[in-house]
Structure 1
Amino acid sequence: MMQGRFSRWILALVAAAPMAAMAQVADPSRWQLNMGRGVTATSQNAYEAHMLALWICLAIGLVVFIAMGYAMFAFRKSKGAVAAKWSHHTGLEVLWTVIPVILLVIMAWPATSKLIAMYDTRESAMTVKVTGYQWMWKYDYLGEDVSITSRLDREHDRIRQAGERPDPAAHPYYLLEVDNELVVPVDTKIRFVITADDVIHSWWVPALGWKQDAVPGIVNEAWAEIREPGVYRGQCAELCGKDHGFMPIVVRAVPKDEYATWLASMKTVDTGVPTDPSLVPEGGDGNAPRSIDPDMIEDIQQGEEPTAPQAPAAASADASSAA
């Protein structure tokens, strides 16, 4: 009976493995076993290289275990089998050397060509500069005069610091939401130049198929061409300090016309707001766009938490005299 149950379990696992390998999405799901396909050419290439290596390894393992099982059953001691005295066989030694080399070449050839393509940022339609700070990201759309700062969603940060238990229904992406998303167009080759201001960070969105270190004083680059509109999440993948786990990344990919509208609205906001720190809206928390709160980035560079700028002393004096 136990042998029958064990056989059924093995057959079920073998049958489910190919289906589990194929049914993947950009966001990870519960009990997901295989890597996802992602939404870029780079992630698709990585997935295909992974699947090629996986099936070759599974085939090798299957052959080896079948051979071991047959040898242990057919030539067991209870049947009178006697171990042969054998030193080496030139033909077999050549065979088990040549076959692995051929398999390595089969896997290395496509992997190398795709690895080279991962770093080819030529003919990019736009460039986004990514700068890591403790503990947030700043995105500059080069040539567009648009910059945004993205940090952990305020409500999520409040729940975290208060020690409350988050409601999965109200916050399905707890600690993976930000106040300002990185908005990019689909079907557009985007070049990312990545650096940091204080310590080493790492910009990682799994659905894009790569991650890149953000190192102070060094500019690394990568590229992505997102095929499907959607929201893709990631995190800093480097131990960058005490709040390393609260430095999420959210990329929103939208159609080109919607992106053009968003970019135009951001330019209007940036050019239409005075840069005088005294004009920060009442109740501001210091996380406003740089055009409204120009002291924010300077505070971050000095290792301080962003806070609302104080009103000038003259304004305070006028207010007290009026009172």
Structure 2
Amino acid sequence: MKNHRNKLLATLALFGASLSHAEYQLNFQQPATSIAQDVYSLHMTLLWICLVIFVIVFGVMFYSIFKHRKSTGHKPADFHESVTVEVVWTVIPLLIVVAMAWQATKVVINQKNTKGADVTVKVTGYQWKWGYDYLDEGFGFHSKLATPQTQYENFGKDSQQVEKKNENYLLEVDNAMVVPVGKKVRLLLTANDVIHSWWVPAFSTKQDAIPGFIRDTWFKADRVGVYRGQCAELCGKDHGFMPIVVNVVSDEDYKKWVSEQKKKAAESADDPNKKWELADLMKRGEKVYQDNCAVCHKPDGKGMGAFPALDGSKIAKGDRSAHVGIVLAGKNAMPGWSKTLSDTEIAAVITYERNAWGNKTGDVVQPSDIKAARK
């Protein structure tokens, strides 16, 4: 009983400390684009209009209730409707609504004007990460949550251990989107599986990514910095683990970054006809597995919920072609990886799954096998 009481007191103390250090923000984030500034200004203008209407309406109402109360001997008035009053209290609200709509329409139209872009990026939503393809530069990459799984699932060698959270807990990624400051960036958004939504509050940019459709939006950052957002559409069990990070840099730094990305893309390009050794495929496959599969099937292959264990499974130890087919096309809650991973990556991860943990099948899947299975 005493131990339980001490644990409760410790928990309350930690909770109180976290509240005392929390930063509360009651309004929008500080605008980082002209559109965001327009949205913020519109928001504040409409807020003040609503406040004035609230004060006038409730002021008149409370004044009337107090001034004409029965206890002072006031007698109810007996009169018929006034056409003038009816017209006045219909026309005035109409003019207010039209004025508000006029300002809002100008902002919305500007938000939809994607002409004259300096940089065009195709953004693809996946369960659960983002893909960025720089169409003008000819390279692309995936961006996923960088917060270690041990921090948000609280497991480790000691079951009671809770790992310390990072500063940007659940808002950090392994590969940030990088754009130049002061340049108009057009985003072409789509999705590979279900509906996602790309949202960065400081840019006032939010657009749904829908499978089979291309939606577009834009932003132009006014200052250098790191801006964070999230997927704003419920897209599955790991919806909360799809952060967005946009690194706005100078034009010079952007050109250097583009050059580095092109070099990396060239170096990582795989020869589709290469014959891989088992050890090399296992090493490559482990990285692919940890980056893409471990979040559902667990790093130790034990699985969770709707995602079955791969260690000792009939799929990983059974027919190889069936295993390839499931990875390519997906099954039940598992998405297909045919559009996300290359032939070499799929061959490597399947080889890894068939030989890792207790699955010592000795099978080697080559990129050519995946290429043939795609047909």
TM tier relative to shorter chain: 0.7 to 0.9
Unaligned runs of 5+ in 2: 1-21, 156-160, 292-325, 353-362, 367-375
Task: Summarize the alignment of residues 212-291 of structure 1 with structure 2, pairs less than 5 Å apart.
Answer: 212-276=207-271, 278=276, 282=283, 285-286=287-288
Counterpart for residue 16 of structure 2? none
Q: d(CA) in 2 for partners of 1:259 and 1:300?
A: 35
Q: d(CA) in 2 for partners of 1:70 and 1:162?
A: 58
| AA aligned opposite 2:216 | E
Q: Is the 8 A contact 1:133 1:300 kept in 2?
A: no
The structure 2 residue matched to 1:55, chosen from 36, 48, 51, is 48
The structure 1 residue matched to 2:151, chosen from 143, 148, 159, is 159
Counterpart for residue 100 of structure 2? 107
Q: d(CA) in 2 for partners of 1:49 and 1:159?
A: 39
Q: d(CA) in 2 for partners of 1:227 and 1:288?
A: 37
User: Aligned with 1:275: secondary structure?
Assistant: coil
Q: d(CA) in 1 for partners of 2:270 and 2:122?
A: 22
Q: d(CA) in 2 for partners of 1:301 and 1:229?
A: 41
1:150 equivalent to 2:201? Answer: no
| AA aligned opposite 1:236 | C
Question: What is the aligned length?
Answer: 277
Percent sequence identity over matched residues?
A: 42
Q: Is the 8 A contact 1:128 1:141 kept in 2?
A: yes
Counterpart for residue 67 of structure 1? 60
Q: d(CA) in 1 for partners of 2:29 and 2:365?
A: 58
Describe the superposition over 1:223-249 as per-residue Cα deviations: whole angstroms up to 9, x where unpaired: 000111111111111111111111111
Describe the superposition over 1:183-211 as per-residue Cα deviations: whole angstroms up to 9, x where unpaired: 11110000000001111111111111121
Q: Is the 8 A contact 2:189 2:216 kept in 1?
A: yes
Moved over 4 A (4+): 276-284, 298-301, 304-308
**TM-score normalized by the length of structure 2:** 0.67
Task: Summarize the alignment of residues 193-204 of structure 1 with structure 2, pairs less than 5 Å apart.
Answer: 193-204=188-199
Cα RMSD over matched residues?
2.8
Describe the superposition over 1:262-289 as per-residue Cα deviations: whole angstroms up to 9, x where unpaired: 1111111111334158567947521799
Q: Higher mean Cα deviation, 108-117 or 271-280? A: 271-280
Q: d(CA) in 2 for partners of 1:225 and 1:299?
A: 39
Counterpart for residue 131 of structure 1? 124
**Residues 140, 288 of structure 1: CA spacing in aligned structure 2 closer, same or farther, 3 A cutoff?**
farther
Describe the superposition over 1:89-136 as per-residue Cα deviations: whole angstroms up to 9, x where unpaired: 111111111111111121111211121111111110110000011111
Q: d(CA) in 2 for partners of 1:110 and 1:243?
A: 38
**Residues 183, 280 of structure 1: CA spacing in aligned structure 2 closer, same or farther, 3 A cutoff?**
farther
| AA aligned opposite 1:221 | D
| AA aligned opposite 1:120 | N
Counterpart for residue 178 of structure 1? 173
**Residues 172, 149 of structure 1: CA spacing in aligned structure 2 closer, same or farther, 3 A cutoff?**
same
Shift of 1:86: 2.8
